[in-house]
Amino acid sequence: MSRVLVDGHPFVPYTPESVAPDEALARGQALFDELDSRRSVRRFRSDPVSRRCIELAIRAASTAPSGAHRQPWRFVAVSDPALKARIRAGAEAEEQRNYEGGRIPPAWREALAPLGTDSDKSYLEVVPWIVVVFAEQHGLGPEGERLQNYYVKESVGIACGLFVAALHRMGLATLTHTPSPMRFLNEILERPAREQPSILFPIGYPAADCLVPDLKRKSLDEVAIFRE
């Protein structure tokens, strides 16, 4: 690749494939159809998933744009049964306080009711993999100095979206799970305090008797405003 210097910084040519308009529509439709068929799953089977699939999903996620290109994400992939059991115990303890202990306000409980969620997180010991995504609040320079990160939440959110899409593309199912507060994951997974747990993804194949809530997605008119 031919590098040039712009203001003393290296740049390389970027010439993505050019896509004809009809082909663009066909690809866009195909991608939409595929993404639209994704559902969050809360009942899994225990069939193995190769580590390679998890690595590819993490690599796909890691292509996300990020504030000042800080890439402030860490993906901790867990298949160790003992660690999964500790994660389940930690998640259920927090979720029991949320669901049974009244930590979730009534309006939130009402919003969750159609999803059929509760504090039972047994799937965390059924799935072959759990991936916990940590958001790095600040980085560390070569001398251990504090490096400012930018737009951490937004960057990690985009990476998580790509991660979910990549898993779906490989025929895998997941759930965007946030057993809040999630700091218990730092201790179990031995991550430093500057990394904040963002989302916990159980990953596997849906159980044969898996049911998902009959949800409707908002129409284009409800989510888009065009000003032409």
Ligand X SMILES: Cc1cc2nc3c(=O)[nH]c(=O)nc-3n(C[C@H](O)[C@H](O)[C@H](O)COP(=O)(O)O)c2cc1C
Residue 115 binds to ligand X (criterion: CB under 6 A) = yes
Stretch in the footprint of ligand X (CB under 6 A) among 7-15, 43-51, 147-155, 172-180? 172-180
* Residue 7 three-state SS: coil
Does 175 help bind ligand X (rule: CB under 6 A)? yes
The CA–CA distances, whole Å, from 153 to 33, 71, 80, 83 equal: 27, 11, 28, 26
**Site track 116-155 with ligand X (rule: CB under 6 A), x = hit:** -x--------------------------------------
Nearest approach in angstroms of CB 157 to ligand X is 8
Shortest CB 98 distance to ligand X, Å: 9
Task: Tell me how far, at minimum, the Cβ of 138 lies from ligand X, in Å.
Answer: 22
97 touches 103 (CB < 8 A): yes
Q: Which of 1, 4, 6, 215 binds ligand X (CB under 6 A)?
A: 215
Task: Render 36-102 in DSSP notation, one character per residue.
Answer: HT----S-EE-----HHHHHHHHHHHTTS--BTT---EEEEEE--HHHHHHHHHHHHHHHHHHHTSS
Q: Give kind and range of the element (H or E) at residue 118.
A: none
Q: Write down the least CB distance from residue 48 to ligand X, Å.
A: 23
Determine the residue with CB nearest ligand X.
40
Distance in angstroms (rounded) separating the CA atoms of residues 17 and 15: 7
Residue 62 binding ligand X, by CB under 6 A: no
Residue ranges binding ligand X (CB under 6 A): 39-40, 42, 115, 117, 175-178, 212, 215
